[in-house]
């Protein structure tokens, strides 16, 4: 059993047992650093990434009551993070500040640990290349390449929560084609540098 599978089994046991605070804490410890890294790449601004992570952590805690197990908890976390990023972007467009939520203390620790990891010249260059892409292409690239998620998971994260299975398969196929176009575009931009 892989570490991911063991984490999934542990999280499902906590959720099924009704220990939602424990499940939130475990999910943040397991998936928090990669979620924060993803938010940092998608939102680019460190303050917005921190706000997005706080919103995500709060949504995670609130949403575990309705988590039905149709996808992995990791995929669920990415769906919540995508929604949190959208809320932060919308607040930026309106000129409103997104207040930090009453997220668990672990959220602050994860942001601190990950923030140091994110600071490097290579990451800055990759972030600049990704920033030149449309937002959904940025998300697609990070989810598939950096996070190594399967196409169904990516389709779940970028799609609607209650999409029928048939729609999910069509969405996954469309995302695979889109991914190929994004890769070609990035190769072109890299060769121009």
Instruction: Encode pLDDT of 93-152 as tens digits.
Output: 887 654 554 344 555 555 555 444 445 554 566 667 777 888 888 888 888 887 888 888
The confidence band for 8, taking pLDDT boundaries of 50, 70 and 90, is very high
Segment 77-97 shows an average pLDDT of 86
Q: Is the per-residue pLDDT at 58 higher than 60?
A: yes
Domain count, the chain: 2
pTM of the model: 0.65
The confidence band for 27, taking pLDDT boundaries of 50, 70 and 90, is very high
Do 132 and 186 share a structural domain? yes
Segment 169-179 shows an average pLDDT of 88
Is the CA virtual torsion 59, 6, 115, 43 positive or negative?
negative
Do 98 and 71 share a structural domain? yes
User: To the nearest whole number, what is the mean pLDDT of the chain?
Assistant: 80
Do 1 and 71 share a structural domain? yes
* Residue 182 near residue 69 (C-beta atoms within 8 A): no
* Residue 77 near residue 27 (C-beta atoms within 8 A): yes
List, as one string, the DSSP characters of 57-109. Answer: HHHHHHHTTT--SSS-HHHHHHHHHHHHHHHHHHHHHHT---------HHHHH
Do 63 and 19 share a structural domain? yes
- pLDDT (0 to 100) of residue 90: 87
Do 93 and 178 share a structural domain? no
* Residue 139 near residue 89 (C-beta atoms within 8 A): no
Domain ranges, residue 27: 1-119
| % of the chain at pLDDT higher than 70 | 80
Helical axes 20-43 vs 73-94, angle rounded to 10°: 50
């Amino acid at each position: 059993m892989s570490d991911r599978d063991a984490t999934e089994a542990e999280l499902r046991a906590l959720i099924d047992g009704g220990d939602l605070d424990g499940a939130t804490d475990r999910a943040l410890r397991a998936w928090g650093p990669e979620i924060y890294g993803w938010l940092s790449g998608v939102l680019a601004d460190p303050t917005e990434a921190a706000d997005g992570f706080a919103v995500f952590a709060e949504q995670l805690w609130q949403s575990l009551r309705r988590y039905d197990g149709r996808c992995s908890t990791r995929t669920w976390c990415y769906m919540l993070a995508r929604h949190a990023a959208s809320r932060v972007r919308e607040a930026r467009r309106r000129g409103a500040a997104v207040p930090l939520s009453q997220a668990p203390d672990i959220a602050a620790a994860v942001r601190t640990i990950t923030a140091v990891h994110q600071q490097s010249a290579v990451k800055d260059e990759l972030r600049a290349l990704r920033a030149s892409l449309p937002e959904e292409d940025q998300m697609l690239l990070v989810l598939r390449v950096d996070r190594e998620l399967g196409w169904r998971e990516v389709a779940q994260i970028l799609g609607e929560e209650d999409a029928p299975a048939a729609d999910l398969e069509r969405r996954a196929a469309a995302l695979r084609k889109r991914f190929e176009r994004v890769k070609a575009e990035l190769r072109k931009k890299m060769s121009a540098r």
